[in-house]
């Protein structure tokens, strides 16, 4: 059963296995282990970012496609579901309709980008995707009557997912099963299903062809594979998965705006997560997303505690001031690249 779920792609490292099991258990039991709003927000963000990062690794790590349009597809998923719930009634039908429209738009856009641009060299394709993503972000900001512009849109969700909803009376291990817990487990289980689906894709014969194209495009063409077709399909698959991640984000936040989904800073974060975890390893997406999002949310607080505890010493309290958390996040990234050039997963598998 486990072999089928993981498609035969086991971690191949005891330390890696332990880390992945810990991440799974902590995310599965987050409502019970970490009471409070912020920890649950962080856990939910880790869930849908694992899907987003894994979908980008499908392009970069397994196919060798460098794209800067991934946040565009993430935003299309969020805006599709969010605007459907905003303009129609807050029902499951609106969620489904918004998701279907978002997936259709994402796949058509990725198909056009792929067929038009994937014949050019890697750097030129990256520049084309950057231009398209920037144009889409500007469009979302300018169409304020539809998208809400820079302010975005807040919307209601189906009754089952609202914080005021109670699934049943009483509590489980001291936790009341409100709509907030329901939507968290919806995000968790759908993220898990999408992640396992991507593991299946990269370990299928189709996935092996993608890896052959990554290693040597000319050799793959020489033995009969139409590389543009395979890369275009991979581009569409990655876009579809990113769209699903955006839809999960919208359901969780009950808000959609340019800063939450279309910002270029998110694209940089995705790249960092892929590199930290390890390119070409789906498990790297889980580890990279977890480490990076935890650092984003808690590094500043930890630095504040360290700065206070070191008061009276020269220089150190100022270096560890919470306002300098981005500096130390950059230092941590440089150290991770230096000591783990193939990512955490690659390093652990070699050991």
Q: What is the pLDDT of residues 53-62, one digit of tens each?
A: 999 999 988 8
Q: Residue 117: its pLDDT value, please?
A: 67
Residue 265's beta-bridge partner residues? none
Structure tokens at 12: 């191949």
Residue 294: give the domain boundaries: 2-350
> Angle of helix 264-277 relative to helix 70-87, nearest 10 degrees?
120
285 token code pair = 């997406």
Helical pair 14-28 and 282-309, crossing angle rounded to 10 deg: 70
Query: What's the CA gap between 252 and 275, in Å, rounded?
Result: 27
Please count the structural domains in the chain: 1
Question: What CATH code is carried by the domain that includes residue 256?
Answer: 1.10.3470
What confidence score (pLDDT) does residue 54 get?
Answer: 95
Cα–Cα distance, 274 to 112 (Å, whole number)? 25
Ranges assigned E (strand) in 204-343: 255-256
Q: In this structure, how many other beta carbons lie within 10 angstroms of the beta carbon of residue 14? A: 10
The token pair that represents 106 in the structure block: 């994402």
Low-confidence ranges of the chain (pLDDT < 50): none
Decide: 71 and 257 in contact? Cβ < 8 Å. no
The residues, ordered by sequence, that sit 6+ positions from 280 with a Cβ below 8 Å of its Cβ are: 57, 61, 62, 211, 214
């Amino acid at each position: 059963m486990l072999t089928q779920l993981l498609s035969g792609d086991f971690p191949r490292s005891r330390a890696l296995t332990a880390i992945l099991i810990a991440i799974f258990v902590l995310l599965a039991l987050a409502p019970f282990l970490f009471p409070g709003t912020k920890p649950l927000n962080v856990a939910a963000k880790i869930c849908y970012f694992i899907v987003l990062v894994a979908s980008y690794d499908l392009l970069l790590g397994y196919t060798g496609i460098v794209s800067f349009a991934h946040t565009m597809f993430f935003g299309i998923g969020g805006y599709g579901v969010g605007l459907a719930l905003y303009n129609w009634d807050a029902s499951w039908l609106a969620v489904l309709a918004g998701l279907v429209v978002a997936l259709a738009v994402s796949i058509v856009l990725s198909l056009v980008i792929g067929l038009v641009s994937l014949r050019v060299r890697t750097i030129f394709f990256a520049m084309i995707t950057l231009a398209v993503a920037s144009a889409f972000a500007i469009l979302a900001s300018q169409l304020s009557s539809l998208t809400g512009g820079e302010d975005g849109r807040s919307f209601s969700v189906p009754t089952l997912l609202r914080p005021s909803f109670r699934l049943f009376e009483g509590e489980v291990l001291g936790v009341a099963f409100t709509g907030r817990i329901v939507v968290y487990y919806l995000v968790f289980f759908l993220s898990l299903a999408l992640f396992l689906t991507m593991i299946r894709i990269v370990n299928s014969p189709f996935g092996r062809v993608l890896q052959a194209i990554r290693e040597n495009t000319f050799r793959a063409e020489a033995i009969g594979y139409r590389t543009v077709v395979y890369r275009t399909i991979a581009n569409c698959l990655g876009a579809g998965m990113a769209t699903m991640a955006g839809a999960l984000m919208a359901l969780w936040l009950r808000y959609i705006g340019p800063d939450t989904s279309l910002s270029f800073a998110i694209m940089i974060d995705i790249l960092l997560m892929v590199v930290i975890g390890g390119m070409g390893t789906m498990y790297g997406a889980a580890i990279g997303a977890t480490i990076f999002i935890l650092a984003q949310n808690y590094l500043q607080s930890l630095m504040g505690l360290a700065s206070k505890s070191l008061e009276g010493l020269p220089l150190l309290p100022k270096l560890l001031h919470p306002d300098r958390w981005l500096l130390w996040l950059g230092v941590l990234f440089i150290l991770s690249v230096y000591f783990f050039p193939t990512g955490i997963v690659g390093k652990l598998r070699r050991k």
